[in-house]
Amino acid sequence: MLFRRRHPLRKKDRLKYFVWPPGGWLRSFRYLGKRILRLGDSPHAIAAGFACGVLVSWTPFVGFHFLMSAFIAYVIGGNLVASAIGTAVGNPLTFPVMWWLSYETGIRMLGGAPGDAALLPDVDEPPAWAEMLPILKPMLIGAVPLGLASGLISYLIVRQVVRMYHQARRRRIVVSRPRAGDPEAG
């Protein structure tokens, strides 16, 4: 394999790098930002795809974020790679806050008081769907407005940043091209 490690990581190191990547989270987010800027699509498609990933990150269905964001991005004409990158907004550091906010928002939307606790499933038994529903229902209902709001905000920001990057790139290309009739263009 081309990019495979010469010496595979141990399970302990894989877990450590999952929680804290080498070089830190800031380096990882800078890398993802550069990947988004360098995508070869329109600013609207890139921003729409990224917004789909952000929107889906609010849901508690962690294993399905890529699939859900890719499906929504495909339906609205967004960039599929940007949608996958947008799901990085939901990560081990942000999930607890996002899920707590979506749960509390859902409880309020359903008419409950803030801090109302649903009946949690018994730890000894594997949770059944009926036992998880009191938790999932408010989380899903609360995830909709929070996801839409954060998706819209991220769409506006990403579209503007990608547009500025593409304009600056076009200017650099025009400046670096030799002009016809230029004696140094030989």
At what angle are helices 24-37 and 129-176 packed, to 10 degrees?
A: 60
* Residue 118 within a domain: yes
* Residue 125 within a domain: yes
pLDDT digits (tens, 9 = 90+) for 90-127: 988 899 999 999 999 999 998 876 655 554 445 555 66
Give Cα 70 to chain centroid, integer Å: 11
The whole-model pTM stands at: 0.73
* Residue 13 within a domain: no
* Residue 48 within a domain: yes
What pLDDT sits at residue 56? 96
Place of tokens 């938790």: 135
Query: What's the domain range around 100?
Result: 20-162
Q: Domain count for the chain, please give it.
A: 1
* Residue 93 within a domain: yes
pLDDT digits (tens, 9 = 90+) for 156-185: 999 999 999 888 888 888 888 777 666 665
Which CA distances in Å does 51 have to 21, 54, 62, 154, 161?
A: 24, 5, 17, 6, 14
* Residue 11 within a domain: no
* Residue 69 within a domain: yes
